[in-house]
Structure 1
Amino acid sequence: MLLIELFVFIGTVAFAISGSLLAIQKRLDIFGVILVGLTTALAGGVIRDLMIGKIPPTNLAEPQYFLVSLLASLATILFYEQMRKFKHSISFFDAIGLGVFTAVGANAALSFDYSQPFLIIAMGLVTGIGGGVLRDVFLQEIPQVFRKEVYGIASIAGSIALIFSSDFVPPVISLYLCLIITFTIRMLALKWKWNIPVVDRKSKINRRTLNS
């Protein structure tokens, strides 16, 4: 489990940096940048724990996650210009974070003896994308997961893999499988620019006009 814990810290740092970078681009003050960075890194886990009845949430009860997120946000403020040059590296670590948090979230539901597949998938999804959704809402952006990118679907696929494999392999193997599948789908989507089709409002309007 040590490797998973290492990945959790990597994902936490990546999410905190990505949130802080976007907050700086939106010209928030220092407090705002730090708050958005912390929200991006920690909010998904907090929401998950509240939903499954884990009180207090792990991200609040164990200060190391807060401190790591805080340091990552401060480092982003200090080295903003240098970090902007590593946009693709941030996307790579963000994908690791998505995979790790999806695996940890889905496994948290299992560890509380929840067996309903929908709930397990939902907890993986909430943990993986919750912080990013709140980040975008705070910054008055349409959340990334809603903008045709293959992001949430990668998380869902990873959680499904964890559910199906948990009865046949040790739990740690299920975790790694969930992480790898989520990460791989996300990176392939970035590389090959896979997108989810959007609704073509114009064609629907034209069709209505013709019918009338």
Structure 2
Amino acid sequence: MFLIEMFVYIGTIAFAISGSLVAIKKNLDVFGVLLLGLTTALAGGVIRDLMIGNIPPTNLADPKYFFVSLLASIATIIFYERINRFKHGIIFSDAIGLGVFTAVGANAALNLDYSQPFLIVAMGLVTGIGGGVLRDVFVREVPLVFRKEIYGIASIAGSIALISTYELISPPTVSLYICLIITLTIRILAVIWKWNVPIVHKKQANKRTIHS
């Protein structure tokens, strides 16, 4: 389907740019920048396909997604100074990728006739955050989804919206737009308005001083 294909291209480019920007800021070499861009763009889809038994994974069986990611990463290297002027470039491109791949991942489960809501939401979440988690781990950062920022929750909300509207709206592909918009909007608003998930704080034991 043309719509889904366009979604995949948009998300792939956005995540490749996100990964490449992080790599450049971490002073990785050219190979490292390209590899991190490819990982961010492709890993979520590969993990999803392995989990639902879609083998070989779409991102590996069809090299066009690899080449799109590679070109996006190369373009990021060449035009880094211009892209970097956009203050929130990493956050915005990452939010687009999150929204797109959440929609595509949840839809992939529906297309394989899976009807369990939990599974559909899980596939949307895995596809949306998988590449970003590996990106952060590779550069020794705590993955964004594990920090206090609203990230994974945005993906879950988008997937739930897709499930809720899939059978009610014609054509069903409109649900993909709804999922994308909700996920992207929640993520962007969370950044702008600094919405955070509460952090679990450890209680420090009171140390008793013994005087001699």
TM-score if structure 1 supplies the norm length? 0.91
Gapped runs of 5+ residues in structure 1? none
Distance change (3 Å), C-alpha of 1:7 and 1:93: farther
Q: Aligned residue for 1:143? A: 143
Count of equivalent residues: 207
- The structure with the largest helix share of the pair is 1
TM-score if structure 2 supplies the norm length? 0.91
What is the rounded CA distance, in whole Å, between the counterparts of 1:16 and 1:87 in structure 2? Answer: 18
Q: How does 1:82-93 map to 2 (within 5 A)?
A: 82-93=82-93
Q: Aligned residue for 1:72? A: 72
What is the rounded CA distance, in whole Å, between the counterparts of 2:127 and 2:88 in structure 1? Answer: 23
Once the 2 structures are TM-superposed, how far is the Cα of residue 2 of structure 1 from its aligned partner? 3.0
Q: 1:4 touches 1:100 (CA, 8 Å); kept in 2?
A: no
Identical amino acids, percent of aligned pairs:
74
What is the rounded CA distance, in whole Å, between the counterparts of 1:100 and 1:63 in structure 2? Answer: 19
Q: Aligned residue for 2:110? A: 110
What is the rounded CA distance, in whole Å, between the counterparts of 2:87 and 2:57 in structure 1? Answer: 31
In the TM superposition, structure 1's runs of 4+ consecutive aligned residues that sit over 6 Å from their partners are none
The aligned amino acid for 2:184 is F
Q: 2:43 touches 2:130 (CA, 8 Å); kept in 1?
A: yes
Once the 2 structures are TM-superposed, how far is the Cα of residue 81 of structure 1 from its aligned partner? 2.0
Q: 1:10 touches 1:93 (CA, 8 Å); kept in 2?
A: no
Q: How does 1:182-193 map to 2 (within 5 A)?
A: 182-193=183-194
Moved more, 3-12 or 18-27: 3-12
Q: How does 1:155-170 map to 2 (within 5 A)?
A: 155-170=155-170
What is the rounded CA distance, in whole Å, between the counterparts of 1:21 and 1:93 in structure 2? Answer: 10
What is the rounded CA distance, in whole Å, between the counterparts of 2:99 and 2:187 in structure 1? Answer: 9
Moved more, 76-85 or 184-193: 76-85
Q: How does 1:4-153 map to 2 (within 5 A)?
A: 4-153=4-153
Once the 2 structures are TM-superposed, how far is the Cα of residue 209 of structure 1 from its aligned partner? 6.9
CA-based RMSD: 1.7
